[in-house]
Structure 1
């Protein structure tokens, strides 16, 4: 089996040229051979009549001179028969090319018929037989064009032309195929390097054809894989850091409990810290599992219809200990709306957004939750009067473990995964989230969701 694309291109070209030439030859022969034969025979009839008139005019004294002149013509072979079927005059080419007329066709012409070649195997298809009379005696003139030498030259010309077409075409294909195959070889080499983990490779191209599009797609894929690899490494680093921090605390306080004598109050304080760090580690692992399941579509929405405004009220009530302890004023402006979605997932979504707003709102601040419905969608806005987010940080906040102010995050708690889960839940429902924020003026999270879950999740 030929595996090289380069060789296959050349063989396909040669085969295509040969097939095209032969098919064209046979189709042309089929379509025009009859017309060509008729055209030549018609001209032979006209030439034959002219020869007959000259023959009559030269009879009987100048026949030898006439036939000598005709014999000198290189394009005709001629033979004249009398009424007994005897050849009276014939050119020198007759013996060479064996123009033989059988008795049946000879008698047909002597009786006044016109013969056109192709009736017998011994006859050239271009032979023409014409009758004529002199002084009451019947004669027959048979004439055919002398095409053998011309045909030989034509066939030789055709063969040489075919050979040159195939040869020159093959040379051109060898050169052009290398030009076509070269970027594919570069792509193959780059793919092998990428398989080894080198995502920094890029291929230069100026072409705008399919090969150029393929190269551009490869570069885009390499860039996305490179970005994904950097995100993966950063994610592993962040996870390791987030897990290592509580583990270090747990280990340190455990060693303190084992090595030092302390009063009951100090012992309980250390045990409380260990418990809090364990809870923090547990929440982190749970959030990671949720994010992983959402990222890989392992969780399918459990669709149901329910009142979205009632759900938002329930989330607000469930979070009351958090916002009431900070003396935060909570304002609700909710339209009654029935939505078709995953109730548990959206409950987690609103809980994360509200918890985030409470964390970063100063005591005595204000949080507003608004619900507005349109014909096909709803918009939920969660606005706080907190510290706000710098504009250059807005497009980073949905990345896992991304924290704007590390010191402040440690003070208020959190692992930086909550907004990543929020964004994935929104995407799972075919919605989008937009963030408006200014430092010192607070943040508004606008969540747009369709009233009906995307078709791919509808149950039939």
Structure 2
């Protein structure tokens, strides 16, 4: 088994997990980045506060500056102040421009702020680098939307992974349920008598365990359909074939009932003959049904083809004394793993069929040739032959060709059907071909070990 479905599941789960981790990492970093800076409006607001304080400071308006700082603190509910940072370098050190450029008491309004940090101290320098406007960042100006921080946290940790996992689960469900639904629909249709339904073609280019299951289902459906069709046809044909002998049997019994002395012996003979024919018809039909349904492999014993053919030929010569049989057989032809009963019955049916259609005084030819990996048995009669379109059909149960080939009324059209299935059961093949100028040749091919 290719385990295609397993690899697909691995791929979906693996890719889904990688995508999930990547999205979580990306969105977490993106969200944190977006929520770590003051908005442009808040930066402008703080800068406006500082500019007003600087104007009051430069105007040496201490009272106005104090009132302005008080106004800011009351409005924003925070702390604000203007401070000086007079720094003296000790031990002969110097504070250069580079120091004053980067030195700060608080954080610049354009600096990155972590959303979960405590209330940061923001600083905006005046024109005088030693004077600074300081304000504890108002709560409303916290980076991002602070009131949604907890919701964002839960969304990143639970909601987003859950949504992605549900999407992966839905993908897996649809990938698995689609072929299962197709199989279920096909099974239901098949159970309702639609024996032509098949599944594999519905799955397109898919190639995994489900397609193997679909092909197995199709093979099963094909086999069951063949069996059901064959059984129906067999029953219909058997019913048709039984009508004639049963009708003759009814006539004979009716004559026996009314006691017609003249026809008494003929009626009894007729009853016996019809009983034998009906019994043979039923037995052959049961054998054919068994071979059709079970398709057994009858390869259980070793035999010699020459000995088996000799027995069949002797019986045929006794049954048809007015016809001649010519044989071309080797001294021996060992055939391992075969079945003498099945092969013997097949040969007997074919030989008797050929003798029946060979005119009195004519010859039936039987030959056995040995090939590299097979035996070939050819049985050639001198009958009228069979039309080309009937060569395959003569192996169908109860099939009869036209009157030129039918000869007498003996037989029910089961002999060749049984012969073909018996040959197939031992691993062989059989075919029919016309001869020139006339006649039919039956060819049986049987496998043999190459080292024999």
TM-score range, shorter chain: 0.5 to 0.7
* CA-CA distance at 1:303 after TM superposition: 0.6
Write out aligned runs for 1:216-231 (5 A): 222=221, 225-231=224-230
- Judged with a 3 Å threshold, the aligned counterparts in structure 2 of structure 1 residues 76 and 390 are, in CA distance, closer, same or farther, namely closer
Structure-1 residue corresponding to 2:255: 256
- Judged with a 3 Å threshold, the aligned counterparts in structure 2 of structure 1 residues 71 and 164 are, in CA distance, closer, same or farther, namely closer
What CA distance in whole angstroms lies between the structure 1 residues aligned with 2:94 and 2:215?
A: 86
What CA distance in whole angstroms lies between the structure 1 residues aligned with 2:118 and 2:239?
A: 105
**Which one of the candidate residues 324, 330, 355 is aligned to 2:352?**
355
Contact 2:377 / 2:445 at 8 angstroms: preserved in 1?
A: yes
- Judged with a 3 Å threshold, the aligned counterparts in structure 2 of structure 1 residues 95 and 448 are, in CA distance, closer, same or farther, namely closer
- Judged with a 3 Å threshold, the aligned counterparts in structure 2 of structure 1 residues 321 and 254 are, in CA distance, closer, same or farther, namely same
- Judged with a 3 Å threshold, the aligned counterparts in structure 2 of structure 1 residues 227 and 309 are, in CA distance, closer, same or farther, namely closer
What CA distance in whole angstroms lies between the structure 2 residues aligned with 1:375 and 1:175?
A: 57
What CA distance in whole angstroms lies between the structure 1 residues aligned with 2:448 and 2:98?
A: 113
- Judged with a 3 Å threshold, the aligned counterparts in structure 2 of structure 1 residues 76 and 368 are, in CA distance, closer, same or farther, namely closer
Structure-1 residue corresponding to 2:434: 437
* CA-CA distance at 1:73 after TM superposition: 8.4
What CA distance in whole angstroms lies between the structure 2 residues aligned with 1:19 and 1:63?
A: 47
Structure-2 residue corresponding to 1:187: 183
Deviation per residue, 1:288-312 (Å, 9 max, x gap): 3333443425684441343x22332
What CA distance in whole angstroms lies between the structure 2 residues aligned with 1:201 and 1:322?
A: 50
Structure-1 residue corresponding to 2:330: 335
Instruction: Determine if the alignment matches structure 1 residue 448 to structure 2 residue 439.
Output: no
3-state SS in 2 of match to 1:382: strand
3-state SS in 2 of match to 1:331: strand
- Judged with a 3 Å threshold, the aligned counterparts in structure 2 of structure 1 residues 95 and 227 are, in CA distance, closer, same or farther, namely closer
Structure-2 residue corresponding to 1:269: 266
Write out aligned runs for 1:38-437 (5 A): 58-59=94-95, 67-68=103-104, 72=108, 167=163, 170=166, 174=170, 181-182=177-178, 184-201=180-197, 205=202, 207-210=204-207, 222=221, 225-263=224-262, 266-295=263-292, 296=294, 300-306=298-304, 308-325=305-322, 328-336=323-331, 337-340=333-336, 341-405=338-402, 409=406, 411-437=408-434
Contact 1:315 / 1:351 at 8 angstroms: preserved in 2?
A: yes
* CA-CA distance at 1:232 after TM superposition: 1.7
What CA distance in whole angstroms lies between the structure 1 residues aligned with 2:258 and 2:366?
A: 51
- Judged with a 3 Å threshold, the aligned counterparts in structure 2 of structure 1 residues 57 and 163 are, in CA distance, closer, same or farther, namely farther
Residue ranges of structure 1 left out of the alignment (5+ in a row): 1-8, 27-53, 78-93, 99-147, 454-460
Write out aligned runs for 1:5-44 (5 A): 17=16, 21=20
Structure-2 residue corresponding to 1:138: none
Deviation per residue, 1:199-226 (Å, 9 max, x gap): 2446774722146776677566555544
- Judged with a 3 Å threshold, the aligned counterparts in structure 2 of structure 1 residues 57 and 205 are, in CA distance, closer, same or farther, namely farther
Contact 1:205 / 1:212 at 8 angstroms: preserved in 2?
A: no
3-state SS in 2 of match to 1:68: coil
Residue ranges of structure 2 left out of the alignment (5+ in a row): 1-7, 26-88, 122-141
- Judged with a 3 Å threshold, the aligned counterparts in structure 2 of structure 1 residues 313 and 167 are, in CA distance, closer, same or farther, namely same
- Judged with a 3 Å threshold, the aligned counterparts in structure 2 of structure 1 residues 358 and 76 are, in CA distance, closer, same or farther, namely closer
What CA distance in whole angstroms lies between the structure 2 residues aligned with 1:293 and 1:219?
A: 23
Contact 1:398 / 1:423 at 8 angstroms: preserved in 2?
A: yes
State the superposition RMSD in angstroms: 4.8
Mean CA deviation greater in 436-445 or 16-25:
16-25
What CA distance in whole angstroms lies between the structure 2 residues aligned with 1:230 and 1:197?
A: 11
Contact 2:384 / 2:438 at 8 angstroms: preserved in 1?
A: yes
Contact 1:305 / 1:338 at 8 angstroms: preserved in 2?
A: yes
Give the TM-score of the pair, scaled to structure 1.
0.61
